[in-house]
Copies of this chain bind each other. A is one copy, B any other.
Amino acid sequence: MAEGGPVLVIDIGGTKMAAGVAEPGGRLVTWAQVATPAGDADAEGLWRVLESLLVGVLASAKVGDPAGLAGIGCGCGGPMDWPSGLVSPLNIPAWRRFPLRDRLAARFGGGSLMVRVHNDAICMAVGEHWRGAGRGKRSMLGVVVSTGVGGGLILGGRLIDGASGNAGHIGHVVVEPEDGPLCGCGARGCLEAIARGPALAAWAQRQGWRPGQADVTARDLAADAALGHPVGRAALRRAGRALGIAIASATNLCDLEVVAVGGGLSQAGALLFDSLQESLRAHTGLEFARRVQVVPAALGQHAGLIGAAALVVAGDRYWTGAG
């Protein structure tokens, strides 16, 4: 590895795989993305798609020899064994305990390159803290509202990993303890069970929303809400209210300064954020908590890639794992 060299950065989700080459300061020199192969792909097929994507961005950035890289930073959907980087992404069934870190190290660095893999929502939070909405703040929560609801926690100016690399799971903060919907995690009343895109779309359909197409997404719902559809608007209020409760709990517990909300649903704007702020205010009474700022994520779809770079080049703040 070459200190001061560029960083190969990767962001792997259930819908798309993105990669790029970042300068040490975080600017993306180049980036590209492909759709994540669907359920019928096997582990090696998926790996080959990722490999081509990476070879492509390295060529595009004119990185001839990976030994000139400072390292590889990678965000991937959870859960995973951390920091060893054995990944089992909930939305990528083909990979179960897939040794992503070791495979990247073997393919691109002959084993000598620094390769750091962390949860994709954590990479988003790290990116937003390093170069986005949380820049310079001591306490920040990053929230990603998408197919799931994830997040990452920066406290005392450093990424908090928790006991097993799983800190930041704001999606499983309890927002409806009494008879709340069953969550994918097996518990009841989690934020994710209410505010994740598919749950929200399903709720809206039960309320009579009839989307124009079969393959319905929360994005369609947000679009209909923006056009004034009452059920769409109610669904976004429902998500905003749940987010406000969970963010209030996190703020009271962690004394947060700023919460950056990203992910597809966050693009719904005021329709989501107004009810979020209202429920946040209803559940934060202490003076310090009332000062928290909840803002849209600043880096958009690139936050995860930029955060992945920070794992490598700003590891003093954002990496506590071995290696």
Show the binding face of A for B, using Cβ within 8 Å.
79, 137-139, 153, 155-156, 158, 160-170, 172-178, 183-190, 245-246, 248-250, 252-257, 279, 282-289, 291, 320
Contact = CB atoms under 8 A, between A and B. Distances in A.
Given A153-B253, A169-B255, 19 more contacts: A139-B162, A155-B155, A156-B160, A162-B254, A162-B256, A162-B288, A163-B255, A163-B256, A166-B286, A166-B289, A168-B255, A169-B289, A178-B178, A183-B285, A185-B286, A188-B282, A190-B252, A190-B283, A253-B254
A163 B248 contact: no
Contacts of A186: 285-286
Contact of A163 (B172, B185, B246, B257): B257
Contacts of A173: 249, 252-253
A173, A176, A188: residue with the most chain B Cβ atoms closer than 10 Å: A173
A286 B88 CA distance: 14
Contacts of A286: 79, 166, 169, 172, 185-187
Contacts of A155: 155, 160, 162, 167
| Protomer copies | 2
B252 A163 contact: no
B160 A254 contact: yes
A221 to B, nearest CB: 23
A256 B65 CA distance: 42
Nearest to A250: B253
B172 A175 contact: no
10 contacts: A138-B163, A166-B288, A168-B255, A172-B286, A174-B175, A174-B249, A246-B249, A249-B253, A253-B254, A254-B254
Contacts of A254: 153, 160, 162, 167, 253-254
Nearest 10 pairs between A and B by C-beta?
A162-B255, A185-B285, A186-B285, A187-B285, A172-B252, A167-B255, A166-B255, A163-B257, A173-B249, A166-B288
A287 B139 contact: no
A79 B279 CA distance: 24
A172 B289 contact: yes
A184 B252 CA distance: 14
A169 to B, nearest CB: 5
Contacts of A285: 172, 183-187, 190
A79 B34 CA distance: 52
A241 to B, nearest CB: 8
A169, A249, A285: residue with the most chain B Cβ atoms closer than 10 Å: A249
